[in-house]
């Protein structure tokens, strides 16, 4: 048997990959993060057992995986977004390795990609930013040395900040010296879900704008000049002089 860590995508059930959907519909056991994965993602499954792991701890989850392994059953372990980004699969994999239980990671559409799609923008533009930094705000989980927001902000690259909207004022204070008060910012709540909400502004006014909403969690903060850029060079990809393999 194999444990498949499947990225269900950001919320829209149509954004799961073809492979992920096939596994969800064919695995006899499904463990899914019910607080972040819509039940519509599980439609069409023929599983013998479907468990919402939202209220389970790591030991309980691993016990279910081990039980399935002993029965020779494949498991669809369904996470939101892409499981390799803030999916908390590392500790599960460590336990599986200790138990000699095989696993496979099936990538998914990230929340960052869904936010960019919702905002209708490209996150890497010539002359503006060719780097995207994915990070989180240090609250319960501490950040390694050199990865504080202020350190990362020195690059002035496009930045996607997870799990930080409750600390937006502190985030703005750390970013301001590097990006400037007029730098565009977008806060996207539950990107691609039916109740998605977007708030756009600058570092100078985004805090006030978000205060006027009910956004408290499950939101991504995007920062960077690409969000409102118009003066940038065309990519060489489609230039007449560019040669492409056929």
Where are the domains positioned within the chain?
3-106, 111-228
Q: Would you identify the CATH topology of the domain 3-106?
A: Cobalt-precorrin-4 Transmethylase; domain 1 (3.40.1010)
The token pair that represents 60 in the structure block: 């309980």
Q: Are 175 and 183 in contact (CB under 8 A)?
A: yes
Q: How far apart are CA 94 and CA 81, in angstroms?
A: 21
Q: In the predicted model, is pLDDT for residue 190 greater than 60?
A: yes
User: What are the backbone angles phi and psi of residue 48, rounded to the nearest 5°?
Assistant: -75, -25
- Model's pTM, two decimal places? 0.89
**Helix runs in 71-205, H state only:** 90-99, 111-119, 149-153, 168-179
Q: In the predicted model, is pLDDT for residue 4 greater than 60?
A: yes
What CATH number should be reported for the domain whose range is 111-228? 3.30.950.10
Tell me the pLDDT tens digit for each residue of 14-49: 999 999 999 999 999 999 999 899 999 999 999 999
Cβ-proximal residues to 69 (8 Å cutoff; 6+ apart), any chain: 1, 3, 99, 101
Say what percent of the chain tops pLDDT 70: 93
Cβ-proximal residues to 62 (8 Å cutoff; 6+ apart), any chain: 92, 95, 96, 99
The token pair that represents 148 in the structure block: 């504080």
């Amino acid at each position: 048997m194999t444990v498949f860590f499947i990225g269900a995508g950001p919320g829209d059930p149509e954004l799961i990959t073809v492979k992920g959907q096939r596994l969800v519909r064919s695995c006899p056991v499904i463990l899914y993060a019910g607080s972040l994965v819509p039940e519509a993602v599980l439609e069409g499954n023929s599983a013998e057992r479907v468990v919402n792991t939202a209220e389970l701890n790591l030991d309980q989850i691993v016990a279910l995986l081990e039980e399935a392994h002993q029965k020779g059953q494949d498991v669809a372990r369904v996470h939101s977004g892409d499981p390799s980004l803030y999916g908390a699969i590392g500790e599960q994999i460590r336990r599986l390795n200790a138990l000699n239980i095989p696993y496979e990671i099936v990538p998914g559409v990230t929340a960052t990609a869904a936010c960019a799609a919702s905002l209708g923008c490209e996150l890497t533009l010539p002359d503006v930013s060719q780097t995207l930094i994915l990070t989180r705000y240090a609250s319960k989980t501490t950040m390694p040395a050199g990865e504080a927001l202020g350190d990362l902000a020195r690059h002035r690259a496009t930045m996607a900040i997870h799990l930080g909207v409750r600390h937006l004022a502190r985030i703005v204070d750390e970013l301001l010296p590097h990006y400037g008060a007029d730098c565009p910012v977008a806060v996207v709540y539950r990107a691609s879900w039916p109740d998605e909400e977007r708030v756009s502004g600058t570092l100078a006014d985004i805090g006030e704008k978000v205060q006027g909403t009910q956004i408290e969690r499950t939101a991504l903060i995007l920062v960077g000049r690409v969000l409102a850029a118009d003066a940038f060079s065309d990519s060489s990809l489609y230039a007449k002089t560019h040669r492409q393999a056929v």
